[in-house]
Chains A and B, each alone.
Chain A
Amino acid sequence: MNKRFRSWSASLAVVAALGLSAGGAMARDIVWARYGDIDSLDPQRATSTLSLQVWSLIYNTLLATDKDGKPVPNMAESWSANADGTQYTFKLHDGMKCSDGTPLDANDVKYTIDRAFDAANPSVTKSSWGPIEKVEVPDPLTVKLDLSKPFVALVPFLADSFSSIICDSNKDQPGFGTTAAIGSGPWTLQSWTKGDKIVLKKNPDYVNYGKLADNKGAPYMDGLDITVVPDEQARLAALKTGEVDIAEPPPDDVPQIQKTKDLNLVVADNTGQNVFWEFAVHRPPFNDKRARLAVGYATDAAAAVQLIYGDLTSQEECPISQGTFGNDPDFCKQFRPAYDPDKAKALLKELGYGPDHPLETNMLVWTGGNRDKLAEIFQQQLADVGIDAHIQMMDIGTMNARVKQENDTKTGIGSMDMMTWSWYDPDILYSLWHSPGAYDGFTTPELDAMLDKTRVLTDPKARADAVHDVLKYLLENGVQIPLYSPGWEWVFAVRPQVTGFHVAPFVYPIFNDVKIADD
């Protein structure tokens, strides 16, 4: 009797212990679930947003972004440039430390930049640093950069996590990028189980010099687990059970969440994301700007996104989005084709199209985020003016390949696509529309000259004017017809017990201020 009772209570204890450990009722970590995994912990070997967001947690950057998207001091307490923008000097804060205790100073900055320009194995984003010829360290708190030509996009780049400063103690780490990553961000790497989760612990020595967080020191919570949950319904279920604290909800469930309020919604702004129409311009019909503008006049993006996304996003007037230098809705409104079906019909008539001879085109759209429903609304709007658009949904990889293919083909019906890019600087327009052009698209010598100017003008007013010239050109010629911003992965559902979560410009979630109330 005694023996049976003992073994029974022993197994009960084991079950209870298993249950407790499985439930994770010990010191709580923040759990953030995303649809995919990072490519690498090495900021010079990958470019996906999923990777970028994690680098922003582990590493730090010379500059930071304020709430309007402008670069402000961070690791560098001040900086200056010479008159023609070929020399930059950065003064660093004293006493900074890497998460392994080694000092963080100008030598780490030099290590990072030299590594990016390494001849044998350069960074995959090397060209974003600009034409840096030399990095000098006159003293441990000063970095001097010499450029062969001016490149003003360097400054906002230094505020973005693509330019994450890699501590030079990483050079002796054999698993740097896969199992090791020493930085100076608010969180330090504990482990990365590929495809499954990244476990971060707070960096107790972290000092916030300029990032957008109220907390000026180390994060309040002890740990942050970044897990991979590909299915959107599973993410929502996990939010409801409390297994996950923060995740992107299914777009269809957002109105319900807004109504019942059992989860809070955090909507990122100043995302730098721009969703736009672009066209296969090297053959009819879209080699003629009137056809492109007709599509612009026929499209009522405001109504369409209101129907699908409600108040979560809005029509974007400029080819570069809010938060990006040069964005100016009032300016762009003067030149972009606004919703005007009659004007669209008139232009199509000029081109010889009419009710019994509609303009035929394929409409390429990438899958997910209810974009299929959005595409149907656009299709209807186009049909109303006499444009017959055939929707083709495909994953983003296939779509990029197809856009290039359509640009290279001289035959076939017209092709237009709903493309999206996000970037922290108007320099994105350079890589999209300067020859040779992204995916062999639209380029002209006139536009090239205008874009070249935007790269070198150091005076902000002069650069803004140059950027505006480009915007005007793009809008008046229907090269890029802005639709809406933000456009993807910008909505976060947060459990009500979780406070202090917010998202910095260019979709960088901040966890420094997070506190969880249910312990």
Chain B
Amino acid sequence: MWRFLAGRLGMGVLTIFATTIAVTLLIHLVPGDPVQIMYAQSQGTTPEQLDTIRHSLGLDQPIYIQYFNFIGQLLHGNLGFTIRGHQPVLDVVSQRLPNTLALAGVAMAIAILVGVPIGFAAAYRQSSWLDAGLMTLSIAGVSMPGFWLGLILMMVFAVDLGWLPVSGTGPRNIVLPALTLGISNAAIVARMTRSSMIDVLQQDFVRTAEAKGLPKSVVLSRHVLRAGLLPIVTMMGLQFAFMMGGAVVVENIFAWNGVGRMAVDAIFQRDYPVIQGFILTFAVVVVVVSIVLDALYALLDPRIRRS
């Protein structure tokens, strides 16, 4: 079990490093200089001043030097300073990360609470009208763009009905963005649950359980559900990554003060330390969640543990 976790951890660290290298290269490929952009709206900042500022931020050095400095600082627990406003990137990220995690978490809960029962019902009544109907609904859910769904929910529930606020960050404000993120992912969860459950329902042990005379509800809850939910656990890791990514769009629409919003602003401003900090955070969260879920999977499935 520990070898398993250590292996996963090693892979995780490698993944994180590879991601940061790729992103650093990519963001430097985009034209535009952060210092120039930052002071673009004043004719009072002379070109010489811009050069001095660029030099003080280490932006005139080659990309690989900047990357090594970044890694060096990182190993000391320092994520550097934002180009805009000269604040510690660690502070900026850690102030907003809880908001994004809360949003992704609630969205995940919605996706599971909505998607699993739908997928289960569709699998149980496979090839019926219910199955066809639910799966069509789920295709619709997957196809809806997040920003469109978000605006529709905003128009209906916030503007027309006035039940919920339009934007901001707070307990009541989490409902609409989480719904937006959750519904599109619920559709994916539903489809995956359905396939997984169909597989399980065809297994011999299910037929055996039924032949033994167990009531249908017990067969379903004790045997089918547990076996069928296992692949869903691993899929949740990937889904959480999608949630974090989708949060970028949803946070912008609903003005939810999370790291997704921060990342978009940083990209437009070419605030490299913030972008790197964001990608690092994103990669770490996704890797940690995947490892935890893999461990959970191993815990739930004795077959994995024994191997």
B167: contacting residue among A22, A234, A396, A431, CB under 8 A: A234
Contact status B166-A238, CB under 8 Å: yes
Contact status A405-B255, CB under 8 Å: no
Chain A nearest Cβ from B273, distance in angstroms: 15
Contact status B151-A230, CB under 8 Å: no
Cβ contacts B196-214/A at 8 Å (1 or 0 each):
0000000000000000000
Q: Which residues of B contact A52 (CB under 8 A)?
A: 41
Contact status B253-A40, CB under 8 Å: no
Cβ contacts B6-49/A at 8 Å (1 or 0 each):
00000000000000000000000011110011111111111101
B170: contacting residue among A22, A178, A230, A430, CB under 8 A: A22
Tell me the chain B residues, 252-301 only, with Cβ under 8 Å from chain A.
Answer: 252-255, 257, 261-262, 264-265, 268-270
Cβ contacts A41-55/B at 8 Å (1 or 0 each):
000011111001000
Contact status A194-B44, CB under 8 Å: no
Q: Which residues of B contact A22 (CB under 8 A)?
A: 165, 170-172
The interface size bin for chain B is: 35 or more
B114 interfacial contact with A, CB 8 Å: no
Q: Assess A237 versus B36: contact at CB under 8 Å? Given A229-B255, A395-B268, A428-B43.
A: no
B95 interfacial contact with A, CB 8 Å: yes
Contact status B38-A47, CB under 8 Å: yes
Which residue on B lies nearest to A42, using beta carbons?
B85
Q: Assess A195 versus B261: contact at CB under 8 Å? Given A47-B41, A401-B36.
A: yes
Which residue on B lies nearest to A38, using beta carbons?
B85
Q: Which residues of A contact B37 (CB under 8 A)?
A: 396-397, 400
B87 interfacial contact with A, CB 8 Å: yes
Contact status A228-B255, CB under 8 Å: yes
Which residue on B lies nearest to A432, using beta carbons?
B43
A-B contact pairs, 14 of them (CB 8 A): A33-B255, A47-B45, A48-B41, A124-B49, A127-B46, A194-B87, A228-B255, A231-B151, A231-B255, A234-B154, A243-B165, A243-B168, A398-B30, A431-B43
Q: Which residues of B contact A427 (CB under 8 A)?
A: 43
Contact status B31-A398, CB under 8 Å: yes
A193 to B255 CA separation, bound complex (whole angstroms): 13
A231 to B252 CA separation, bound complex (whole angstroms): 6
Contact status B43-A128, CB under 8 Å: yes
Supply 11 further A-B pairs (C-beta < 8 A) apart from A39-B38, A46-B84: A47-B41, A127-B44, A193-B257, A195-B96, A195-B262, A234-B166, A237-B159, A241-B165, A395-B32, A397-B32, A430-B43
By Cβ-Cβ distance, the 8 closest A-B pairs, closest first, are A128-B44, A125-B44, A47-B42, A431-B43, A397-B32, A397-B37, A196-B257, A238-B166
Q: Which residues of B contact A33 (CB under 8 A)?
A: 167, 255
A35 to B176 CA separation, bound complex (whole angstroms): 20
Chain B nearest Cβ from A37, distance in angstroms: 8
B158 interfacial contact with A, CB 8 Å: yes
Contact status A178-B166, CB under 8 Å: no
Cβ contacts A39-82/B at 8 Å (1 or 0 each):
11000011111001000000000000000000000000000000
A454 interfacial contact with B, CB 8 Å: no
A398 to B252 CA separation, bound complex (whole angstroms): 21
Cβ contacts B231-257/A at 8 Å (1 or 0 each):
000000000000000000000111101
Interface residues of B (CB under 8 A from A): 30-33, 36-47, 49, 53, 84-87, 92, 95-96, 151, 154-155, 158-159, 162, 165-172, 252-255, 257, 261-262, 264-265, 268-270
Contact status B253-A47, CB under 8 Å: no
Contact status B41-A39, CB under 8 Å: no
A125 to B257 CA separation, bound complex (whole angstroms): 30
A227: contacting residue among B86, B255, B261, B264, CB under 8 A: B255
Which residue on B lies nearest to A52, using beta carbons?
B41
A398 to B33 CA separation, bound complex (whole angstroms): 8
Contact status B38-A46, CB under 8 Å: yes
A227 to B96 CA separation, bound complex (whole angstroms): 16
A473 interfacial contact with B, CB 8 Å: no
Q: Which residues of B contact A111 (CB under 8 A)?
A: none
Q: Which residues of A contact B33 (CB under 8 A)?
A: 397, 401
Which residue on A lies nearest to B40, using beta carbons?
A400
Chain A nearest Cβ from B37, distance in angstroms: 4
A178 to B257 CA separation, bound complex (whole angstroms): 17
A36 interfacial contact with B, CB 8 Å: yes
Contact status B31-A405, CB under 8 Å: yes
Q: Interface size of A by Cβ–Cβ distance < 8 Å?
A: 57
Q: Which residues of A contact B269 (CB under 8 A)?
A: 397
Q: Which residues of A contact B253 (CB under 8 A)?
A: 231, 233-234
Q: Assess A47 versus B31: contact at CB under 8 Å? Given A36-B265, A124-B44, A178-B85.
A: no
Q: Which residues of A contact B96 (CB under 8 A)?
A: 195
Contact status A227-B168, CB under 8 Å: yes
Contact status A400-B36, CB under 8 Å: yes
A234 to B250 CA separation, bound complex (whole angstroms): 11
Chain A nearest Cβ from B226, distance in angstroms: 35
Q: Which residues of B contact A128 (CB under 8 A)?
A: 42-44
Contact status B45-A125, CB under 8 Å: yes
Q: Assess A178 versus B172: contact at CB under 8 Å? Given A124-B39, A397-B270.
A: no
Contact status B42-A125, CB under 8 Å: yes
A453 interfacial contact with B, CB 8 Å: no
A230: contacting residue among B31, B47, B159, B255, CB under 8 A: B255
A325 interfacial contact with B, CB 8 Å: no
A421 interfacial contact with B, CB 8 Å: yes
A131 to B95 CA separation, bound complex (whole angstroms): 42
Contact status A241-B158, CB under 8 Å: yes
Cβ contacts A423-442/B at 8 Å (1 or 0 each):
10001101110001010000
Contact status A238-B167, CB under 8 Å: yes
Contact status B42-A126, CB under 8 Å: no
A206 to B42 CA separation, bound complex (whole angstroms): 28
A423 to B87 CA separation, bound complex (whole angstroms): 29
Q: Assess A237 versus B154: contact at CB under 8 Å? Given A48-B41, A124-B42, A128-B44.
A: yes
A401 to B87 CA separation, bound complex (whole angstroms): 25
A45 to B42 CA separation, bound complex (whole angstroms): 11
A423 to B45 CA separation, bound complex (whole angstroms): 13
Q: Assess A194 versus B41: contact at CB under 8 Å? Given A400-B36, A405-B31.
A: no
A484 interfacial contact with B, CB 8 Å: no
Q: Which residues of B contact A47 (CB under 8 A)?
A: 38-42, 44-45
Q: Assess A162 versus B44: contact at CB under 8 Å? Given A194-B95, A237-B155.
A: yes
Most buried by A among B44, B84, B155, B172: B44
Tell me the chain A residues, 406-433 only, with Cβ under 8 Å from chain B.
Answer: 421-423, 427-428, 430-432
A402 interfacial contact with B, CB 8 Å: yes
Which residue on A lies nearest to B173, using beta carbons?
A22
Contact status B257-A49, CB under 8 Å: no
B45: contacting residue among A127, A177, A234, A401, CB under 8 A: A127
Which residue on A lies nearest to B92, using beta carbons?
A194
Which residue on A lies nearest to B35, using beta carbons?
A124
A357 interfacial contact with B, CB 8 Å: no
Chain B nearest Cβ from A130, distance in angstroms: 10
Q: Which residues of B contact A422 (CB under 8 A)?
A: 41
Which residue on B lies nearest to A41, using beta carbons?
B85
Q: Which residues of A contact B32 (CB under 8 A)?
A: 395, 397-398, 400-401
